Chains A and B, each alone.
Chain A
Amino acid sequence: MNLITVAMFAAILLVSLGITAWAARRTRTTVDFYAAGKGLTAAQNGFALAGDWCSAAAFLGFTGLTALYGMDGALYAVGPLVAFCTVLLLIAEPLRNTGTYTIGDVIMYRMRQPPALAAAIVGTIVINLAYLIPQMAGAGVLIKLLFGLRYDVSVILVGLGMIVYVAVGGMLATSWVQIVKAVLMLGAGAIILFLALAGVGFDPLVLFASAEAKAGPGFLLPGNLLKNPFDEVSLGLGYMLGLAGLPHVMTRFYTVPDATTARRSVIWVMFLAGAFFACTTIFGLAAVHYLGPQALRVGNPGGNLTLPLLAQYLGGGKDTVGGQLMLGFVSAVAVATILAVVAGLTLATSGAVANDLYVNLIKKGRVAEHQQVLVARITAVLVGIVATLLGILAEGVNVAVLVILAICIAASANFPVLVLSLFWRRFNTGGVVGGMALGLVSSVGLALVGPAYLGANAIWPLVNPTVVALPLGILGAVLGSLLTGRNHEHEKRFGEVTFRIQTGLRSDHP
């Protein structure tokens, strides 16, 4: 165990708890709880988006994938940046203008029929749980490794942390925890980048040549990880459209005062997170150059320890103070990363359960303001407990696959429904239910019979089924709309929807 790691982690934890106590005093209404009072600036929300979107899979995973599989790791890293082009051009501003706290708000505003809202709630909860469980399990493994605690104890500690942030401090605490984490992550990235490049005379080309020489001639080619060509296409499609369907990232756009600020916050995150993603490719190649491909495979099958090992080497090596300091820093940031992401996921899930399901669907909006906040806090605690239990059960499950599944469902079920709700006059409740059902069932079904779960006995060849599930989700949405007949009153109201998407003006009563 590393004392420096413990000290740094304790410092991060103290700062986070301080933020939570500060935020708790400023969180009184539902707008405060779900949307941080809609008072974040573009830069603040940009950093928070970076903190929310860069999970441990990005912080540790991309570097490890590049170090083990060459170009496929770099392809994994660029997608999450391009994904924000979709968000910037199609989603961020319309979402800010039409919704209040959740994605379900947008669907309900457009459709005004309970089955549409119910479908949106199911989509949000399934995606969030599929995303949350691997984060919890990853945190368990990481803390077990860093502090020598038992797996289940580690998961419970993370669960406690996120429950406190969310239930006590709401969106304001969650946002600032994400901002702090993003600053730490970018700081760690900048230090590692400087040290990694300093060793090769600031010529990244040396890293490419050296990595290829050490890891073999096929290392810099695509296909080392994703053998099936269609899996590369699925990865691209899933990223490009899936981010826009991830509820925990999209709800961040409700924390700013208007659509213009929402747009500017996307520009921020594209430069902040994008620069970090680009660096992970350099880190992966640097790890091969400095440590050699053999050293990286020992005790590190998924590649998640590559970045801590590289940091330790660049700090001076295993037995030096510098090495221990760098290892401790990167490890502590990794835990902070996971905590920030699970807090965002817990909050978004609570929004779907408390705001969409309880207040809007069951109580038809007839719940007093102070009661709504109480319900939201209680829901956050319950969601946190469920996520912790599932995280404990997930020990040993191939969790990386669950993240892919979450993004696949987001792209195939949530994204078509969201985009068509915003932009297609003929879209209706039948379309919402059809798209959500077909997208969800085909994503989950194909993933379960694929190599991710059945290994060599797989009936279906692709790990990531987006390439088939997405067209099916769109088909379900279109057919569901066309087959359920026209409602001219509903279609006429689309003019009002369009007007609000563009201007943010509400012309009706909620």
Chain B
Amino acid sequence: MADDAVKLSGADVAPDAWIEGVESAEFKTLIDAKQRSIVPMIVIYMTGYMGLSILAGFGRGLLGIKVLGAVNLGFVLIAGNYVMSWLLAIVYARISADRHDPLVKVVVEKARMSGSAR
């Protein structure tokens, strides 16, 4: 808490540390790794959820097809959206902890070394 309060009142690294930082190979690796995982996930959930919403408006007959007893395709897709969101949460948590966080750590340490503001 106290540590953060100190940080809020000033800079963490030298004023131009970011220039070196954004140009560094490590930072580019981090951005690449993030884009590779985040972009496909965005495509997946947006397609899944907007697909459901569009079908709820324009595919009402299709969503009414019975799948399991009284349960129709619409409710199956709704359940699918719950499962999709939860799986995505788990997968993203895993990927970011295993791959993104170590890369961030490298970039942060390098920036702190390159010139200390404190």
Contact = CB atoms under 8 A, between A and B. Distances in A.
Same complex = yes
Interface of A: 29, 31, 37-39, 71-72, 74-75, 78-79, 81-82, 84-85, 88-90, 100, 205, 208-209, 211-212, 220-223, 226, 228-233, 235-237, 240, 257, 260, 263-264, 266-267, 270-271, 274, 277-278, 281, 495-496, 498-500, 502-510
Nearest to A258: B4
Contacts of B113: none
Given A89-B38, A208-B75, A505 B70 contact: no
Given A208-B69, A503-B111, A509-B15, 5 more contacts: A71-B56, A74-B75, A78-B78, A81-B82, A220-B72
A270 B89 contact: yes
Given A209-B69, A236-B50, A240-B46, A267 B74 contact: no
A222 B93 contact: no
Nearest to B108: A503
The 7 closest A-B CB pairs, nearest first, are: A236-B53, A229-B57, A232-B57, A499-B18, A209-B70, A208-B70, A222-B56
Contact of A271 (B11, B30, B89): B89
A425 B70 CA distance: 51
Contacts of A507: 11-18, 21, 111, 117
Given A71-B63, A505-B12, A235 B53 contact: yes
12 contacts: A38-B1, A89-B42, A220-B72, A221-B64, A226-B56, A236-B50, A240-B50, A271-B86, A281-B78, A496-B22, A507-B14, A508-B15
A85 B60 contact: no
B36 interface: no
B75 to A, nearest CB: 7
Contacts of A510: 9-10
Contacts of A267: 89-90, 93
A499 B27 contact: yes
Given A82-B49, A100-B8, A233-B53, A223 B42 contact: no
B64 A274 contact: no
Contact of A502 (B10, B16, B88, B107): B107
B15 A503 contact: no
Contact of A260 (B38, B75, B101): B101
Contacts of A278: 82
Interface of B: 1, 4-5, 7-19, 21-22, 27, 30-31, 34, 38, 41-42, 45-46, 48-50, 52-58, 60, 63-64, 68-72, 74-75, 78, 81-82, 84-86, 88-90, 92-93, 96-97, 101, 104, 107-108, 111-112, 117
B74 A221 contact: yes
Contacts of A496: 18-19, 22
A87 to B, nearest CB: 11
B56 A232 contact: yes
A507 B78 CA distance: 45
Nearest to A230: B57
A498 B45 CA distance: 25
A408 to B, nearest CB: 14
Contacts of B27: 499, 502
A400 B53 CA distance: 20
B53 A75 contact: yes
Contacts of B74: 71, 220-222
Contacts of B71: 205, 208, 220
Nearest to B34: A502
A274 B87 CA distance: 12
A81 B31 contact: no
B83 to A, nearest CB: 10
Contact of B78 (A74, A88, A89, A498): A74
Contacts of B86: 270-271, 274
A507 B8 CA distance: 12
Contact of A257 (B4, B41, B112): B4
Contact of B22 (A209, A228, A260, A499): A499
Contacts of B81: 78, 81-82
A205 B49 contact: no
